[in-house]
Amino acid sequence: MSANAVSQAAAPLEPPVPTKKPVKTTGLHIGEAGPGCAKVDPILVVDNVRRTFGGLTAVDVAHLEVPRGAITALIGPNGAGKTTLFNLLTGFDKPNDGKWTFDGRSLAGVPAYKVARMGQIRTFQLTKALGLLTVMDNMLLGAKGQTGENMFRALMPFLWRNQEEENRAKALDLLTRFKLETKKNDYAASLSGGQRKLLEMARALMSDPTLVMLDEPMAGVNPALTQSLLDHILNLKSQGMTVLFVEHDMHMVRHIADWVIVMAEGKVVAEGDPHEVMQNPAVIDAYLGQHHDEDIGVDPDTETEHVSAIKELLDDER
């Protein structure tokens, strides 16, 4: 809490940061950091995945590896193909061609629900809290391998009552961690936008995933909740999960990400440690549409300047 207090005192308008100083994971890659570079222990490997909409190529990724046990940020300007890549990797969309593996298993042609069952759970840019279900029901829906989800066994409560109680206890535990336990009997529709984001993340955790893919987890969330969201993302890593998230805000990315992948016009244009990536001319080029002499993220003052410039630009684009 103190770190936050200091930073707020110093720059009141600065976006929130995690309450604890994040422990960065390093040494993730092999050889030179660059687009498509090899990782020591990749969890997700993408090869020649291409998706076109009509004449427009939305995604064209030659090779990409996502490191295990780290927080990886996927950034890029609007229309860079980040969400489309997310949809392709999670089975929500089908690429024109290409292959990709998760934990060594091929995911090409695997439907979204099977991808999720393998332990690769995603959230959505526009939150998909199930509004007319209670918060608790939302949570319970996240649990894997439920006996009572079979149509015929559903009619025999004695078959699934115990499992249901276990899931309920687990859900309550998660809700407490996400400070939503008082809302457990409310309809999800009554939650605020930020609380829905929290609920969606908590729900994703019900299935004990190995890879959590968050699509703009911080979008449209007020600063106080953003801070708690950042804490939760860091917690995921400390619990041994791998996180891949899409984000616009470079500032937050720099704080919590161990690795950054930059996309522009459907391609991966840069990869690396957050601080180094921000200095990459290709990244600045992608964001500002022109070469820029100064790098981003070295001097805190110039950094905020640039980041806010970029944010403004992105907001205009939106």
Cα–Cα distances (Å) from 149 to 67, 119, 152, 171, 207, in that order, read 34, 18, 9, 17, 14
d(CA 183, CA 123): 20
Q: Which of 24, 117, 184, 292 binds another protein (CB under 8 A)?
A: 117
Q: How does 281-315 read in b/e, with b if 16+ C-beta sit within 10 Å?
A: eebbebbeeeeeeebbbeeeeebbebbeebeeeee
Q: Which of 113, 239, 293, 301 binds another protein (CB under 8 A)?
A: 113
d(CA 141, CA 135): 10
**And the tokens for 75?**
């950034």
Q: Which of 54, 158, 185, 291 binds another protein (CB under 8 A)?
A: 54
By CB under 8 A, residue 203 contacts another protein? yes
Q: Which of 45, 59, 84, 214 binds another protein (CB under 8 A)?
A: 84
In 3D, which of 6, 25, 26, 27 has the Cα closest to residue 16?
6
Q: Closer CB to another protein, residue 170 or residue 275?
A: 170
Q: Closer CB to another protein, residue 143 or residue 296?
A: 143
Among 21-29, 103-111, 254-262, 269-277, the segment contacting another protein (CB under 8 A): 103-111
278 CB-near residues (< 8 Å, 6+ apart): 250, 254, 295, 296, 297, 298, 303
Encoded one letter per residue, x for contact with another protein by CB under 8 A and - for no contact, window 12-51 reads ----------------------------------------
Q: Which of 154, 169, 224, 298 binds another protein (CB under 8 A)?
A: 154
- Alpha carbon dihedral 227, 228, 231, 235, in 10-degree steps, equals -160
Please count the residues of this chain forming the interface with another protein, following the rule CB under 8 A. 55
Q: Which residues bind another protein (CB under 8 A)?
A: 53-54, 83-84, 86-87, 90, 92-95, 97, 108-109, 111-114, 116-117, 121-125, 128-133, 137-138, 140-142, 144, 146-151, 154-155, 157, 160, 164, 187, 189, 200, 203-204, 206-207
